[in-house]
Chains A and B, each alone.
Chain A
């Protein structure tokens, strides 16, 4: 059994920065767990602690049921794939892959057999005599993986292995990594800042932020039932739209009042989120994903209670779909979460957010089908699929569901301060 268990793991650097705070995480045997989060959230530090390259300030790390806190990286029986590949420049591909076996005095025959086996899995048999500088990015990445595979370790640790590859290659390598991990059945911890990789690769995804675990679960769980506004906005591309809205009651039904638009909540949403009752008459964060907004003329089940008429600011024609930028006259949600997420995208995004807040209007992104005839400058009829509406508390950022909906191990907002 080679599961990785992190119990209350904390890391404080020598200069006082708390990089990781009391992290509890469990990676089951043979599972690929993706650690995702914005830059500086502590995910790479967690990986390095599991590898043994950083000391653990508090808590325990177990690999395959043994506590490994005090063991050197070589003794932990893990293999690591680095972002920059870290291949030894003065050695051939064969020597690069075989080094770990040479150190352990594995017999020449066995060493040769294992290297050839790994080379075969990765398709690099004819590169064995070359040096790293003679290889392309994708080939180097494969050699780095070969170096990891050949040891038959208990766990793979991967530190953003695809971020230095170009887009096309990335897609290809993603599929390969997934295939190799599945075929070999090795427990893997994969760190990335790209949420697309997280969604497509991981059996389980853990979202981190500022050293705290936000939510852990299957990719679909994080997508459909995010635990807080940060996870909601982080997962999914383009990001979830966050609008400040008020909840009103009309007869027995709940209505969302966002600016001048009034949207009715279907019963199933009210059932999923009983705690919404406590927010009637109050302001909260209303989240709706771009893919849940459609051109009303083309939406199959558009009903007037969730159809709005909004002005289209501009559009981006992707060919396969149309991205519309709509003008909502409701203020955007400006909390620490949304500001952080905007900051991650750049200063332009932060400025735009603040501008929108000042003008009490939000640019809502909608992903509609390419067949839509909506054009910029018009006021279009837009249908919002309210079955997938998300709600978050404005103060804490937590998602509003009910009393005890299991959303994975995480530290409540109150403790994160």
Chain B
């Protein structure tokens, strides 16, 4: 005997003697050619695949060319006509090793970049989530005005801030360190604050009410309820920060003077000199610096897609 919970529509329909009309013969004929293999759909899907292959080609071919170039020895011509998209004659894999461990010490640059990137991500996540929570959930006088003010700062172009910021950091004695590259992210970022706040607003307020009645204070509501439920948007912010930080050239160029502290972007840029560019090594270095980005993307895909599936609530 099923409990009230388990009784489903199918059961009650069965009891009522109503079953979906399905003449037996017609059904067996149809099932022979399932939707997947019907001619129209095969053509459609083939067309889709061809289109996707073309687009992928546009994206992957340059990478293929980079690989070709990376595998060439030092003085081999790189910009050939016709363009060589795939490695053919040369297979000098040790170029990668030279780039990482040799005099070019790209491993060190990678480590430097990672330090800055991780610092930035932490700073953004901590500061922006707290501020967004305050705007999304806490009620205080002037919160609307303050929020608009924060959003309005997005209008200020970084070019206008560049020089005053530099002067400030120089006077603080932070020139040559990583501090000017990491600390500002602890001050928040208007775009991410906006993004996270909008997301938090979709979290039902009843959860807050229930938490308050359970005895949680504002911090506990943030830490135990809202933050865990905001993982999708936080992941997005982290990924954006990672990509931006990893590729950032301007910041490190302005604030770093010691070659040992350089980041990948600076190092790559420095390879292009007036005295000639070792293209094969440059391409190898570029390929290597792309790998972390790709890895991050793969890791994070699932998290981004697994939304809130919000069910503490009915539907």
* A140 contacts chain B at the CB level, 8 A cutoff: yes
A168 in contact with B4 given A86-B206, A132-B312 (CB within 8 Å): yes
Residues A140 and B314 in contact in the complex (CB < 8 Å), given A88-B225, A89-B308: yes
Cα of A88 to Cα of B207 in the assembled complex, Å: 7
- A53 and B313 in contact, given A82-B206, A86-B204, A88-B225 (Cβ under 8 angstroms): no
Stretch of A18-26, A96-104, A189-197 on the interface side:
A96-104
Contact of B207 among A53, A74, A78, A86 (CB under 8 A): A86
Chain A residue contacts of B311, Cβ below 8 A = 87, 89, 131-133
With a cutoff of 8 Å between Cβ atoms, the chain A residues found around residue B313 in the complex are 84-87, 89
Given the complex of chains A and B, what is the CA–CA distance between A172 and B5 in angstroms? 10
> Are A147 and B214 in contact (CB-based, < 8 A)?
yes
Distance in angstroms between the alpha carbons of A335 and B169 in the assembled complex: 75
B206 touches A74 (CB 8 A): no
Flag if A53 contacts B209 (CB, 8 Å): yes
Q: Mark A29-68, 1 if CB is under 8 A from B, else 0.
A: 0000000000000000000000111000000000000000
Bound complex: CA A72 to CA B211 (Å): 12
B156 within 8 A of A: no
Docked complex Cα distance between A90 and B206 (Å):
15
**Selected interface stretch from B70-78, B82-90, B215-223, B291-299:** B215-223
- Please encode chain B, from 22 to 47, with 1 for each CB lying within 8 Å of some chain A CB and 0 for all others: 00000000000000000000000000
Residues in chain B near residue A266, CB distance under 8 A: none
Determine if A90 and B229 form an interchain contact, defined as CB atoms under 8 angstroms apart. Answer: yes
A138 touches B207 (CB 8 A): no
Q: Which residues on the B side are within 8 Å of A164 (C-beta)?
A: 314
- Residues of A in contact (CB 8 Å), total 38
- Interchain CB contact under 8 A, A89 and B213: no
Q: When chains A and B are docked, how far (Å) is the Cα of A165 from the Cα of B143?
A: 38
Structural contact, A73 and B212, CB atoms closer than 8 A? yes
Q: Is B210 an interface residue (CB 8 A)?
A: yes
Answer yes or no: A139 CB below 8 A from chain B CBs: yes
Q: Are B4 and A80 in contact (CB under 8 A)?
A: no
Whether A169 and B312, one on each chain, are in contact in the complex, defined by CB atoms closer than 8 angstroms, is: no
Task: Give Cα distance in the complex from A73 to B4, angstroms.
Answer: 34
Q: Which of B5, B7, B215, B312 contacts A139 (CB 8 A)?
A: B5
Interface assignment of B305: CB less than 8 Å from any CB of chain A: no
Q: Which of B45-87 contact A (CB under 8 A)?
A: none
Given contacts A90-B228, A169-B4, A172-B4, contact A52 B207 (CB under 8 A): no
Instruction: List B contacts of A52 (CB < 8 A).
Output: 212-213
Choose one: A72, A89, A151; the contact of B229 (CB below 8 Å): A89
Given known pairs A74-B215, A103-B220, the reply for A88 and B209 (CB within 8 Å) is no
Q: Which among B216, B220, B308, B314 has the greatest number of chain A C-beta atoms within 10 A?
A: B314
The residues in B between 266 and 315 inclusive whose CB is less than 8 angstroms from any CB of A are: 308-314
Q: How far is B212's CA from A53's CA once the two chains are assembled, in angstroms?
A: 8
In the assembled complex, which residues on chain A have CB atoms less than 8 Å from the CB atom of B7?
A: 168
Contacts of A79 in B (CB 8 A): 213
Judge whether A109 is part of the interface by a CB distance below 8 angstroms: no
Determine the distance from Cα of A376 to Cα of B313 in the docked complex, in whole angstroms: 46
Interface status of A137 (Cβ within 8 A of chain B): yes
Interface 0/1 of B91-120, CB less than 8 Å to A: 000000000000000000000000000000
Asked if A17 is at the interface (CB within 8 A of a chain B CB), the reply is: no
Interface residue ranges of A121-173 to B (CB < 8 Å): 131-133, 136-140, 147, 151, 157, 164, 168-169, 172
Given the known interface contacts A86-B313, A139-B5, A172-B4, the answer about A103 and B214 at a Cβ–Cβ threshold of 8 Å is yes
Question: A157 to B216, alpha carbons, bound, how many Å?
Answer: 18
Question: Which B residues, 238 to 275, have Cβ-Cβ distances below 8 Å to chain A?
Answer: none
Given A84-B204, A86-B206, A100:B309 Cβ within 8 A: no
Complex: A88 Cα to B220 Cα, angstroms: 13
Contact A103 B312, beta carbon cutoff 8 Å:
no
Q: How far is the CA of A147 from the CA of B309 in the complex (A)?
A: 21
**Cα A236 to Cα B228 with chains together (Å):** 47
User: Which B residues touch A82, using CB under 8 A?
Assistant: 206, 209-210
List the B side residues contacting A72 at CB < 8 Å.
212, 217
Asked whether, in the complex, the Cβ of B206 is within 8 Å of the Cβ of A138, the reply is no
Instruction: Check: B224 CB closer than 8 A to any chain A CB.
Output: yes
In the assembled complex, the CB of A81 is this many whole angstroms from the nearest CB of chain B, namely 9
Evaluate whether A99 and B214 lie within 8 angstroms (CB atoms) in the complex, with A89-B308, A138-B5 already known: yes
Name the residue in A51, A73, A157 with the highest tally of chain B Cβ atoms < 10 Å from its Cβ.
A73
Beyond A104-B215, A133-B311, A169-B5, 4 additional contacts (C-beta under 8 Å) are: A74-B215, A85-B314, A86-B209, A89-B229
Give me 21 A-to-B residue pairs in the complex whose CB atoms sit less than 8 angstroms apart, sorted by A's number.
A53-B213, A73-B212, A74-B215, A74-B216, A74-B217, A79-B213, A80-B209, A86-B204, A86-B206, A88-B211, A89-B229, A89-B308, A89-B309, A89-B313, A90-B228, A99-B214, A131-B311, A132-B311, A138-B5, A139-B5, A168-B4
4 smallest CB-CB distances across A and B, nearest first, come from A74-B215, A87-B312, A133-B311, A100-B214
